[in-house]
Structure 1
Amino acid sequence: MPQKPKPLDETKSMRAWWGKELRNWREARGMSSRELGAKVHLSATSIERIEKDERPCNANLASQLDDAVQAGGALRRLWRLVEEEADKRSADADKTPGGPTLDGIGTPTTGMLGLSPPVFSERSLSPVERRAFFTLGGIAALAPGAFIDLLPGSGPTALPKMVRPEDIEQVTTAAVTLAGWDNLYGGGGIARSSSAGLFIWARGLLATKYPPQLESDLYTAVGRLSMVMGASAFDAYEHHDATELLRFGTWCAERANNWHLRAAVLNWRARHEIWCGRPDEGLTHAENGLVRADRLTHREQATLHNARARAWAKMQRPKEALAAIRQSDEVFDRARDGEDAPWMAYYDEAQHHGDSGHAAFDIALMPGQSPSLAVSRLKTAIEGHTDDYVRSRALSGAKLATLTMATGDPQQAVVIANRALDEVGRLRSKRAATDMQDLSKASARYARKPEVAELRSRITTTVLA
């Protein structure tokens, strides 16, 4: 039986990161190391050593490998960063002792970040940062040790010499702010545009010296930021970014030994996988989150049971889905104020009914199933969501309108849908846009009704805006 490939550590250098990306592309194309080697006249062992950063590579070979795995130039572009890192290290080695003293990660020993977390525009990024974030999609900085060298040596983005509680508080404030923007404007709005620089700096703290007593708080704060950004990327349909950010958030939570953050991130991973058509993987994440449920709060358990319900519903298993909803209700009813971490503040009665209502929605569309549970849940969610959670209210409204249309009441569906459309028009949310497209499909049989025709036209205009 062939051995499982050794996990690669992309944190050592840009060259190590490039090797891991090569393996990712090779595996994505279903190629063995031997098959790839044959295309570039190398042995399987040589390919594996390049992937492990144990064998030299150059620009010409990198270009050949890009062609062989059909990476479309991604590996060529990434190789430029490998060369720039090598050039920088060479330049650093040539510096005289009288130059600025560095702390080992390319950051001056003096200078602290100001009180306000930086928000990067394209113009404020260095040429290397621009190439990394706008060519590679912004996700390249995920590995704990990668891209630290891209941080300017001075100015507002300089890393501190030693992490302080105030630095951790800035990361937490960034996560709270981005989460608020995400709920108000959707994942494709300001939250997504503003997060790259914040994340580079926050991740950089993990490679900075810190007192042992701050380790858990530091990894919790960075993990929380990663979770918020992952959820935002999910809403913007940047699915690769969402997967990597949420995976990184899970790693941070486990490094911090924070069971509460771990449960929250795994809930998002479950929801993301389910939405992407992989309910079995989503169910696995939800079940994994419930490991040692005795360490979780009641609301945390409720979110994960609702994720289980959504997975079962997508797998056409109504009995299991309804059982999971009942379990979620039972633990949610035992929730107590003050027992949850701050990031669970969103999970109130409206959110609970919305999450379970989305699972009940999928059940209601199955033959022989009643829509009453879904209708009741979604109505409660819509009525209970405050203006701080516009997207959640819009998503529940779209589902309720679709269900009402599907069950034969187009007039009432139009009323519900128009209210939801008012809110979808304020968002940059591809999830909301997809739900509206589903509503338009459900309304096709009533397209000759003037009010439905007007609604369908308005959906098209809103979604394309």
Structure 2
Amino acid sequence: MAAVRITAPMEEEMPQKPKLLDDTESARAWWGKELRNWRNVRSLSSKGLGKRVHLSGTMIERIEKNERLCDAGLARRLDDALEAGGALRRLWRLVEEEAAGRSDDADSSVPVHRPAGRAGQADWVLDGYPPGLIDPGRGESPSVVRPEDIAQVLAAASVIAEWDNLYGGGGIVRSSLYGQLLWARGLLAADYPSALEADLFAAVGRLSVVLGASAFDAHEHEDATRLLRFGRWCAERADDWHLRAAALNWLARQSIWCGMPDEGLTHAEDGLVRADRLTPREQAMLHNARARAWAKMRRPGQALAAISRSDEVFGPARENEDVVWMSFYDDAQHHGDTGHAAFDLALLSGQSPAEATARLTKAMDGYTDAYVRSRALCGTKLATLIMATGDPGEALTVAHRALDELGRLRSNRAVEDVMDLSKECRRHADDAEVVALRERIAAAVRS
């Protein structure tokens, strides 16, 4: 008789107990434990809480275990999501007080870097970007920066932006993030001639903004915020107002998406502080962010005025007057962005859906195959709008086209939009084709 091998079950198959949290380590550790306590009181899984604040369940668990940083804005959102009555907000003050105390006790001297070939130049502080921006890892940046290194960073940013538009912010785009930025950031600590200074900071900032926008699409909002803020910091070091506008545009859009339209409006208006230094497309882009913020705040007058202003400044735009990476902002993108704001006005403030329908339709027709995600997002919004206010048969055609494209993406933003479409389908529960659409959406989300 053949011997029968009996093997023990693999360790990872065993149910894992939640990690015991030590709330005596620090105020931040105490706050993390209280976050878990409130989550348990509300009978919420980490994934369930994450959905309410646009984070992954894994990120919630890491915050609870004091393995990932939180900030005051996220602390407020978590308090609201858990209906903690301000308990988490109040406790967060102790976290901030502890952090401030440690800062006061620390050595006030700032490490500086003096690159070769810049004798007599002012010292440049290289620890000014957000701490903990990326996890420690292995990466060997050059000791001396050459123009070819800067070109390589810009090429990486272009490739990632292209992948992001085609495939979404998850998958291979997400997995490539840390190594590339670690290498690029290392260039800032290398020696470089003063003639390359602005180009170097601009290139590293450009990569950071691209990666931040991609992290936003993947719903890795803490990373996205750090990356976009770092991109803005680099832009200001390089005195690059075009890159600064791009960073603030994405910070605005992320804040609005995360339910903080007032913060988003602040970012957008900060970007427009010196509008005379921006091109018409850049100004229109930021006015679109203003419009979306006002629409989310149910302020139709201000939102419509911002859309009108965006149209006005976009009109005189000329070819070849923008930086290369602003080429995405064409007629289709303009109508898509303004269409999203008009969409919110129609569903949140009862405005006529005609404006949103026209703009989203024009955007869908104008997007090329290089912008699959943008086309899918516009299609999903249009289908949702028609399902809510018009003919469900017409909505079905648009929705199925958007779902065809969604299957090519790893985009949590697209998934969230399509789930909103599914909710609107409930009003037509007696329509067999609409029921079939909801089933297709559920299958797409599961995959």
TM-score (norm 2): 0.73
Q: Among 229, 233, 250, which residue is 1:251 paired with? A: 233
Aligned residue for 2:321? Answer: 339
Indicate conservation of the 8 Å contact 2:429/2:435, yes or no. yes
Deviations 1:349-379 (A, max 9, x none): 0000000000000111145421111000000
- Structure 2's unaligned 5+ residue stretches are 1-65, 76-87, 108-112, 116-126
CA-CA distance at 1:260 after TM superposition? 0.5
Aligned residue for 1:18? Answer: none
Change in Cα spacing, 1:52 to 1:164, as seen in structure 2 (3 Å) is farther
Aligned residue for 2:362? Answer: 380
Q: Which amino acid aligns with 2:352?
A: S
Aligned residue for 1:325? Answer: 307
Indicate conservation of the 8 Å contact 2:242/2:278, yes or no. yes
- Structure 1's unaligned 5+ residue stretches are 1-20, 38-43, 56-102, 106-140
Change in Cα spacing, 1:379 to 1:24, as seen in structure 2 (3 Å) is closer
Aligned residue for 2:444? Answer: 462
- Distance in 2, matches of 1:189 and 1:24, equals 23
Q: What is the SS of the residue equivalent to 2:410? A: coil
Aligned residue for 2:197? Answer: 215
CA-CA distance at 1:452 after TM superposition? 0.4
Change in Cα spacing, 1:443 to 1:32, as seen in structure 2 (3 Å) is closer
Change in Cα spacing, 1:230 to 1:380, as seen in structure 2 (3 Å) is same
Q: Among 409, 412, 435, which residue is 1:427 paired with? A: 409
Q: What is the SS of the residue equivalent to 1:328? A: helix
2:397 maps to 1:406: no
Indicate conservation of the 8 Å contact 1:224/1:261, yes or no. yes
Change in Cα spacing, 1:369 to 1:204, as seen in structure 2 (3 Å) is same
2:379 maps to 1:397: yes
Q: Among 429, 439, 443, which residue is 1:447 paired with? A: 429
2:350 maps to 1:298: no
CA-CA distance at 1:454 after TM superposition? 0.6
Deviations 1:61-93 (A, max 9, x none): xxxxxxxxxxxxxxxxxxxxxxxxxxxxxxxxx
Q: Which amino acid aligns with 2:197?
A: E
Indicate conservation of the 8 Å contact 1:144/1:206, yes or no. no
Change in Cα spacing, 1:212 to 1:189, as seen in structure 2 (3 Å) is same
- Distance in 1, matches of 2:355 and 2:333, equals 15
Indicate conservation of the 8 Å contact 1:283/1:307, yes or no. yes
Q: What is the SS of the residue equivalent to 1:390? A: helix
Q: Which amino acid aligns with 2:445?
A: V
Change in Cα spacing, 1:269 to 1:149, as seen in structure 2 (3 Å) is closer
Indicate conservation of the 8 Å contact 2:296/2:348, yes or no. no
Aligned residue for 1:239? Answer: 221
When structure 1 is superposed on structure 2, of 177-186 and 358-367 the one drifting more is 358-367
Aligned residue for 2:400? Answer: 418
Q: Which amino acid aligns with 1:301?
A: Q
- Distance in 1, matches of 2:134 and 2:191, equals 13
- Distance in 2, matches of 1:242 and 1:231, equals 7
Counterparts of 1:93-132 in structure 2, within 5 Å, are none
Indicate conservation of the 8 Å contact 1:246/1:265, yes or no. yes
Q: Which amino acid aligns with 1:54?
A: A
Q: What is the SS of the residue equivalent to 1:162? A: coil
- Distance in 2, matches of 1:232 and 1:326, equals 29
Q: Among 106, 111, 114, which residue is 1:54 paired with? A: 106
Aligned residue for 1:11? Answer: none
Aligned residue for 1:195? Answer: 177
Q: What is the SS of the residue equivalent to 2:176? A: helix
- Distance in 2, matches of 1:371 and 1:444, equals 19
2:195 maps to 1:185: no
Indicate conservation of the 8 Å contact 1:309/1:322, yes or no. yes
Aligned residue for 1:65? Answer: none
Q: Among 251, 254, 262, which residue is 2:244 paired with? A: 262
Q: Which amino acid aligns with 2:351?
A: Q
CA-CA distance at 1:448 after TM superposition? 2.0
TM-score (norm 1): 0.71
Change in Cα spacing, 1:435 to 1:30, as seen in structure 2 (3 Å) is closer
CA-CA distance at 1:271 after TM superposition? 0.5
Q: What is the SS of the residue equivalent to 2:234? A: helix
Deviations 1:191-218 (A, max 9, x none): 1111211100000111111111111101
Q: Which amino acid aligns with 1:423?
A: E
Counterparts of 1:272-287 in structure 2, within 5 Å, are 272-287=254-269
Q: Which amino acid aligns with 1:291?
A: V
- Distance in 1, matches of 2:241 and 2:149, equals 23
- Distance in 2, matches of 1:331 and 1:263, equals 15
Indicate conservation of the 8 Å contact 1:217/1:256, yes or no. yes
CA-CA distance at 1:158 after TM superposition? 2.3
Counterparts of 1:66-81 in structure 2, within 5 Å, are none
Indicate conservation of the 8 Å contact 2:141/2:184, yes or no. no
Q: What is the SS of the residue equivalent to 2:287? A: helix
Change in Cα spacing, 1:454 to 1:201, as seen in structure 2 (3 Å) is same
Identity within the alignment, %: 62
- Distance in 1, matches of 2:258 and 2:134, equals 32
Aligned residue for 1:358? Answer: 340
Aligned residue for 1:308? Answer: 290
CA-CA distance at 1:25 after TM superposition? 6.2
CA-CA distance at 1:50 after TM superposition? 3.6
CA-CA distance at 1:292 after TM superposition? 1.0
CA-CA distance at 1:445 after TM superposition? 1.3
CA-CA distance at 1:54 after TM superposition? 2.7
Q: Which amino acid aligns with 2:374?
A: S
Q: What is the SS of the residue equivalent to 1:459? A: helix
- Distance in 1, matches of 2:133 and 2:219, equals 24
CA-CA distance at 1:464 after TM superposition? 1.2
- Distance in 1, matches of 2:253 and 2:343, equals 15
2:145 maps to 1:163: yes
- Distance in 2, matches of 1:34 and 1:346, equals 42
Aligned residue for 2:58? Answer: none
- Distance in 1, matches of 2:406 and 2:180, equals 27
Change in Cα spacing, 1:159 to 1:367, as seen in structure 2 (3 Å) is closer
